[in-house]
């Protein structure tokens, strides 16, 4: 009896080893997996080299399956030279050909959906057959970013959702730039009428030197120009722009652009590590200044934040070391962790009346000559380990607070370390007032984008921001309509 059981177990084991797996199998170096709905199989991995033709159908045991998709990262790091897909393939999943050595791809005629980063950073791709007429969805942003040898993106003229304009991919209406082949030119004029730039369109295109933005632009997607390290501005970001996505201009170290007055959203790290920005003007429509959005704008000399801004997030202006005057408007309620850390050049600091919370080391390594805090209730400091500012200014720096709040500040956490409190009444009316002309040390003019300009010589009808500095260290910021 024991011998019979043993023999039966061996038979079962042998059958398990030899029976085909209906969910995953390999044929001719290509791995396939069954879709959850059982409608077909997709290519999950390819170990072949050279020229590859993916079959329309494959047989596993007694069952024949239709090949309907290329799976996620299926050809990643592939050493194939070319790939030809059958018309049965309707979808390229995320990263399908990402980071491969493939030179040419024939997509067939059945592709309906292209996943995010489907061809990203396949630096050897020189040719992709035209996007078929049935393609109607491209997930995420640009599927072709990082294809440095690709010179054009072709689209079937019968496609109802996309089109090619001189080799550049747009939506059919032509108002959204979707993908730019890096093998084209290092200068590009985005046509008038375009109001949106997709995510990743020029991501890490380090050779890109010039982009001309259309006056119709409203949206710049995330990482659209990340690490375009050679790019300089040929024209400013246009009035009408309302949204800049995360990392949109991060590490564009030669770029010096304005922030238009129409802006509403500046996302996390939007202008991070833009070393060449000379002036930053945040308009009133921006309610939150994103985390690290202007981190390390090391050549910036002017930060102007308009009334209407409500939150300054963590590290927003960290290491903007050239800025001397910072006035946080009354509308701001929260200053984030290390928001101005490393802004060592700040001499005059004013915190508006609406601030209720200041996070860890918001002004670390900042030792102003003078501070004004207009909040009647001392803003809460959220850490008991780090000082809010540098320590060199704690004993001597005059800090002006509302007359009736001096004792409250002296007793409050972190504020009690400052020793030289003075009543706001000692200032005639604070930064916004004007003393006698004899006290004025300098007068500077800025345009509405916060960029310093020469004083107007005639009535030009333009709006200027005028900043006067007095011998007391006080500044006066006003708007002047020059008529």
Burial class (CB in 10 A: 0-12, 13-18, 19+), 77: exposed
- Whether the per-residue pLDDT at 428 is higher than 60: the answer is no
**pLDDT at position 467:** 81
What CATH topology corresponds to 16-162? 3.80.10
- Quote the tokens at residue 477: 């910021």
The arithmetic mean of pLDDT across residues 317-338, rounded, is 96
**pLDDT at position 439:** 54
How do 176-179 and 168-171 pair as beta strands?
antiparallel
Model confidence over 220-267: pLDDT tens digits? 999 999 999 999 977 789 999 999 999 999 999 999 988 999 999 999
Angle, CA of 281, 283 and 285, to the nearest 5°: 155
Q: Give 474's pLDDT tier (boundaries 50, 70, 90).
A: low
**pLDDT at position 427:** 83
**pLDDT at position 4:** 39
Spacing of C-alpha 337 from chain mean position: 20
Q: Give 14's pLDDT tier (boundaries 50, 70, 90).
A: very low
- Whether the per-residue pLDDT at 478 is higher than 50: the answer is yes
- Whether the per-residue pLDDT at 285 is higher than 70: the answer is yes
Sheet with 380-381: strands ordered across: 162-165, 168-171, 176-179, 196-197, 219-220, 243-244, 265-266, 288-289, 311-312, 334-335, 357-358, 380-381
**pLDDT at position 461:** 66
- Quote the tokens at residue 478: 């006003």
**Selected residue with higher pLDDT from 274 and 459:** 274
Q: Is the dihedral of CA 312, 316, 319, 322 positive or negative?
A: negative
- Whether the per-residue pLDDT at 16 is higher than 70: the answer is no
The secondary structure of the chain, three-state, reads CHHHHHHHHHHHHHHHHHCCCCCEEEECCEEEEECCCCCCEEEEEECCCEEEECCCEEEECCEEEEEEEECCCCCCCCCEEEEECCCCCCEECCCCCCCCCCCEEECCCCCCEECCCCCCCCCCCCEECCECCCCCEECCCCCCCCCCCCCCCCECCCCCCEEEECCEEEECCCCEEEECCCCCCCEEECCCCCCEECCCCCCCCCCCCEEECCCCCCEECCCCCCCCCCCEECCCCCCCCCEECCCCCCCCCCCCCCCCCCCCEECCCCCCCCCCCCEEEECCCCCEECCCCCCCCCCCCEEEECECECEECCCCCCCCCCCCEEEECCCCCEECCCCCCCCCCCCEEEECCCCCEECCCCECCCCCCEEEECCCCCCEECCCCCCCECCCCCCCCCEEECHHHHHHHHHCCCHHHCCCEEEHHHCCCCCCCCCCHHHEEEEEEECCCCCEECCCCCCCCCEEEEEEEECCCCEEEEEEECC
Lowest mean pLDDT among 63-72, 393-402, 437-446: 437-446
Nearest to 119 by CA among 85, 163, 159, 158: 85
Contacts for 323 with CB less than 8 Å, ≥ 6 apart: 300, 301, 302, 303, 317, 343, 345, 346
**Cα end-to-end distance, the chain, whole Å:** 110
Phi and psi (nearest 5°) for 4?
-65, -45
Q: How far apart, in whole angstroms, are the C-alpha atoms of residue 215 and residue 420?
A: 51
Lowest mean pLDDT among 3-7, 210-214, 230-234: 3-7
Q: Give 456's pLDDT tier (boundaries 50, 70, 90).
A: confident
Model confidence over 168-204: pLDDT tens digits? 999 999 999 999 999 999 999 999 999 999 999 999 9
Lowest mean pLDDT among 12-21, 241-250, 430-439: 12-21
**Selected residue with higher pLDDT from 440 and 41:** 41
**pLDDT at position 17:** 34
The arithmetic mean of pLDDT across residues 92-118, rounded, is 96
Q: How many CB atoms lie within 10 A of CB 198?
A: 26
Nearest to 473 by CA among 287, 331, 346: 346
Given the structure tokens 């046509």, which residue do they identify?
191
**Selected residue with higher pLDDT from 291 and 37:** 291
Q: Give 2's pLDDT tier (boundaries 50, 70, 90).
A: very low
**Selected residue with higher pLDDT from 454 and 432:** 454
Q: Are 278 and 258 in contact (CB under 8 A)?
A: no
**pLDDT at position 412:** 96
Model confidence over 368-422: pLDDT tens digits? 999 999 999 999 999 888 899 999 999 999 999 999 999 999 999 999 999 999 9
**pLDDT at position 6:** 39
The average confidence (pLDDT) of the chain is: 89
Contacts for 101 with CB less than 8 Å, ≥ 6 apart: 77, 78, 79, 80, 81, 122, 124
Q: How far apart, in whole angstroms, are the C-alpha atoms of residue 297 and residue 295?
A: 6
The arithmetic mean of pLDDT across residues 76-98, rounded, is 96
**pLDDT at position 12:** 38
Model confidence over 328-367: pLDDT tens digits? 999 999 999 999 999 999 999 999 999 999 999 999 999 9
């Amino acid at each position: 009896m024991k011998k019979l059981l043993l023999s039966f177990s061996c038979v079962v084991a042998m059958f398990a080893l030899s029976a085909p797996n209906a969910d995953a199998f390999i044929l001719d170096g290509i791995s396939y997996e069954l879709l959850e709905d059982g409608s077909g199989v997709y290519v999950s991995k390819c170990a072949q080299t050279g020229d590859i033709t993916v079959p329309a159908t494959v047989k596993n045991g007694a069952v024949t399956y239709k090949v309907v998709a290329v799976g996620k990262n299926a050809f990643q790091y592939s050493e194939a030279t070319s790939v030809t897909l059958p018309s049965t393939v309707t979808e390229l999943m995320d990263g399908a050909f990402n980071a491969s050595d493939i030179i040419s791809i024939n997509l067939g005629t059945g592709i309906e959906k292209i996943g995010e980063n489907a061809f990203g950073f396949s630096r050897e791709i020189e040719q992709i057959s035209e996007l078929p007429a049935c393609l109607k969805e491209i997930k995420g942003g640009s599927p072709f970013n990082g294809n440095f040898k690709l010179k054009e993106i072709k689209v079937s003229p019968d496609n109802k959702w996309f089109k090619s304009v001189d080799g550049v991919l747009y939506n059919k209406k032509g108002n959204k730039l979707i993908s730019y082949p890096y093998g084209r030119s290092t200068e590009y004029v985005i046509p008038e009428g375009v109001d949106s730039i997709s995510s990743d369109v020029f991501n890490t295109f380090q050779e890109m030197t010039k982009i001309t933005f259309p006056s119709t632009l409203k949206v710049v997607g995330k990482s659209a120009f990340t690490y375009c390290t050679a790019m300089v501005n040929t024209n400013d970001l246009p009035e009408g722009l309302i949204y800049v996505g995360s990392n949109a201009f991060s590490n564009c170290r030669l770029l010096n652009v304005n922030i238009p007055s129409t802006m509403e959203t500046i996302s996390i790290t939007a202008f991070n590590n833009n070393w060449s920005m000379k002036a930053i003007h945040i308009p009133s429509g921006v309610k939150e200044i994103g985390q690290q959005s202007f981190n390390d704008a090391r050549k910036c000399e002017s930060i102007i934040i308009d009334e209407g801004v409500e939150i300054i997030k963590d590290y927003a202006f960290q290491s903007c070391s050239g800025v001397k005057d910072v006035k946080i408007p009354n509308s701001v309620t929260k200053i984030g962790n290390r928001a101005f850390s490393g802004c060592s050049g700040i001499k005059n600091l004013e915190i508006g009346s609406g601030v209720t919370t200041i996070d860890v080391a918001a002004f670390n390594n900042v030792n102003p000559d003078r501070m004004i805090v207009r909040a009647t209730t001392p803003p809460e400091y959220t850490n008991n380990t780090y000082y809010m500012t540098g320590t060199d200014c704690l004993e001597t720096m005059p800090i002006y607070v509302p007359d009736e709040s001096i004792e409250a500040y002296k007793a409050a956490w972190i504020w009690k370390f400052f020793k030289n409190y003075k009543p706001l009444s000692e200032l005639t009316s604070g930064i916004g007032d004007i003393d006698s002309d004899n006290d004025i040390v300098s007068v500077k003019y800025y345009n509405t984008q916060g960029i310093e300009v020469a004083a107007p010589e005639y009535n030009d009808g333009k709006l200027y921001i005028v900043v006067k500095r007095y011998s007391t260290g006080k500044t006066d910021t006003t708007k002047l309509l020059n008529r």
